[in-house]
Amino acid sequence: MNFTKSLRFRIFLSMLLLVVGASILIALVTIFQYSEEAEDYHRERLLRKETAIRENINYALKTTTYPVDTENIPLIFKEKIYEIKNIHNLEIYLYDLDGNLLKSSKASFFKDTTAETLPTYVIEALETSSNKHFVEQFKEDGQEYQSAYSYITDSYFKPLAILNLPYIEDDGFLNKELKENLTRLGYAYLLMLLIAIALAYFLSKYITRSLNAISEKITQTRLNKRNKKIFIEDTTHEISTLVNAYNGMIDELESSAAQLAANEREAAWREMAKQVAHEIKNPLTPMRLTVQSFQRKFDANDPDIDKKLNEYTNTLIQQIDTMSSIASAFSTYAQMPAQQDETLNVVKITKLALDIFNEDYIYFFSEETKIIAKFDRTQLIRVITNLIKNSIHTIEQKNPEDPRIDVRVYSEGSNAVITVKDNGLGISEMNKTKVFEPKFTTKTSGMGLGLAMVKKIVETYGGSITLTSADGEGTTFTVMFPKQL
């Protein structure tokens, strides 16, 4: 059983995917929300600490006995900077306006967050900032940092130094909260998943129970027997509609079964009549062309008149024999006409089949004078005749300025090959797969049996027929069958 095509399985799978998808989506949203909250938390915490530290620095500048200028910053904050650090638990670095370190709250510096000299881009960012404030975020050795830069000014708002506060983002508490929250969500969705599995099982079983009953009845439905109607109680409106439609179909089948049987028999006889008519029509065309050619070319004074008369007579006799074989094989329709294997020269028979056509744009080519194969003579002529007639039809539809049909006979390995190439209308991609199907035709007349029978004849002798064509650019048919070595 293919579970992917089962409605019950699809309902079951849809419920599970819905719950799992919802749990994953909510987990992602939760993680994103915690990430946003952590970022806001660290940004606001750094801002609060920076505000408090600046207040302490401003107070120190107001109460100092030293002149308030950049050169005296190290003296002013010689001891005060450690006091401020201890109060706020944050390292403090003071740089001059050119970015050179003046004073820090520790004797050695964190290599990840501070340097002896500020980078140029930090000073430029401060100068161009509208609020003279710049926060840099970076990550080193797996640890995330924020580093705030701002100006320290005197009472006249003249910049004295640059304040740098390195801040390490410690997300341990937030990560713990996130983990606990995701764990609680996991338990909740595990419970929901178990409930969804049970619900999907019973729901799918309820929905498919009625469908299975209907399916069994439909599977047992036959045209040649009396079919039972379906009666299902306590079901949905949709299932009831389906049951009523099936019961209505059963009534119609019973009333029309006899008529269908009669129509099928009539259609079978009609199809057989079409096939027989097509087969009889095939030899009549070359016979008519042969008589017309003989009438047009007859010359009593021609020294080769006896030879030509024999050729014309033989051609007529061959076609008459074909019609006779069709008539005798009418009772065994699938095998008509009877197959008469004989050893023949494919080059000679192909040229003989072309002689019945009067079109001057048919050209014959063969580099060999003899290619021997076992084939029914009349059926080989029929193959070639059908292909030529098909090419003539496509040329007449396109009506090119220089119509041309090239017929080539050659050997390819252990096979004899006949190709018929024209520059006619061509065959569209949509029709390429249909040209050898019975009843398919693009002609306004005809029954579409010619190429189908050509394919059947060639395959009977272990051969194959293929085509290459482009819409509007002509067609090439290639017939290949075993030759005698």
CATH code, domain with 383: 3.30.565.10
Find tokens 């009472």 and name the residue.
Answer: 155
pTM of the complete model beyond 0.85: no
For residue 439, what pLDDT band results from cuts at 50, 70 and 90?
low
Q: What pLDDT, on a 0 to 100 scale, did the predictor assign at position 464?
A: 93
Q: Strand 405-412 vs strand 362-366: parallel, antiparallel, or unpaired?
A: parallel
Percent of the chain with pLDDT over 90: 14
The domain that contains 167 carries what CATH number? 3.30.450.20
Q: How far is CA 55 from CA 62, 74, 101, 109, 406, in A?
A: 11, 18, 21, 24, 102
Q: What pLDDT, on a 0 to 100 scale, did the predictor assign at position 48?
A: 85
Reported residue count of the chain is: 485
Residue ranges making up the domain that contains 44: 3-176
From the number of C-beta atoms within 10 Å of its C-beta (0-12, 13-18, 19+), residue 337 rates as: buried
The domain tally of the chain equals 2
Beta carbons within 8 Å of 448's beta carbon, 6+ residues apart: 437, 438, 439, 440, 441
For residue 6, what pLDDT band results from cuts at 50, 70 and 90?
low
pLDDT at 445 over 60: no
356 contacts 286 by C-beta, under 8 angstroms = yes
Considering only residues 446 and 332, tell me which one the structure prediction assigns the higher pLDDT: 446
134 contacts 119 by C-beta, under 8 angstroms = no
Considering only residues 332 and 19, tell me which one the structure prediction assigns the higher pLDDT: 19
Q: Looking at the domain assignment, is residue 267 inside a domain? A: no
Which residue among 126, 157, 176 closes a domain?
Answer: 176
- Please choose, from the candidates 425, 360, 422, the residue with its C-alpha nearest in 3D space to the C-alpha of residue 399: 425
Spell out the long-range contacts of 228-232 with Cβ–Cβ below 8 A and sequence spacing 24 or more.
Answer: none
What's the rounded Cα separation, in Å, for the pair 110 and 138? 14
Q: What pLDDT, on a 0 to 100 scale, did the predictor assign at position 444?
A: 47
Which residue among 159, 176, 193 closes a domain?
Answer: 176
Q: What pLDDT, on a 0 to 100 scale, did the predictor assign at position 234?
A: 63
Which residue among 128, 154, 176 closes a domain?
Answer: 176
162 contacts 96 by C-beta, under 8 angstroms = yes
Q: Looking at the domain assignment, is residue 81 inside a domain? A: yes
Q: Looking at the domain assignment, is residue 241 inside a domain? A: no
Q: Looking at the domain assignment, is residue 225 inside a domain? A: no
Q: Give the range with max mean pLDDT: 45-54, 84-93, 457-466.
A: 457-466
Considering only residues 178 and 5, tell me which one the structure prediction assigns the higher pLDDT: 178
Q: Looking at the domain assignment, is residue 423 inside a domain? A: yes
For residue 334, what pLDDT band results from cuts at 50, 70 and 90?
very low
Q: Looking at the domain assignment, is residue 275 inside a domain? A: no
Q: Looking at the domain assignment, is residue 164 inside a domain? A: yes
Weakest-pLDDT range from 239-243, 261-265, 317-321: 261-265
Q: Strand 475-482 vs strand 415-422: parallel, antiparallel, or unpaired?
A: antiparallel
For residue 284, what pLDDT band results from cuts at 50, 70 and 90?
confident
- Please choose, from the candidates 162, 53, 160, 54, the residue with its C-alpha nearest in 3D space to the C-alpha of residue 100: 162
Considering only residues 406 and 18, tell me which one the structure prediction assigns the higher pLDDT: 406
What's the rounded Cα separation, in Å, for the pair 179 and 185? 10
Q: Give the range with max mean pLDDT: 100-109, 134-143, 417-426.
A: 417-426
